[in-house]
Amino acid sequence: MPAGIFNSTYYGKDYRAGAALLRARRPYLFKNALTGIGLVGFSIAVYSYTIRAVGQDEFSDVQVPDTPAAKSQQ
């Protein structure tokens, strides 16, 4: 008997999810959706905080030289 997706009872011959797979996934659908929404929200919050925190830096304490330093010959 060859191994592969066609021996599974969860998928049909056209690679679409069968009724058994949909029934098996149904109890987890709501919890997985909430987890995904939570992860996306957390990622956006961290990204926004980082952009806001970096944007507040003034760099007023950094001294920029007027002319480049001359190379010393040895």
**What are the pLDDT digits (tens) for 19-66?**
989 999 999 999 999 999 999 999 999 999 999 988 877 878 888 888
C-alpha to C-alpha distance for 74 and 64, rounded to whole angstroms: 26
Calpha distance 33→25 (Å, rounded): 12
Q: Are 10 and 20 in contact (CB under 8 A)?
A: yes
The end-to-end CA distance of the chain, in Å, is: 78
Q: Check: pTM over 0.85? Answer yes or no.
A: no
All structural domains of the chain with their residue ranges: 27-54
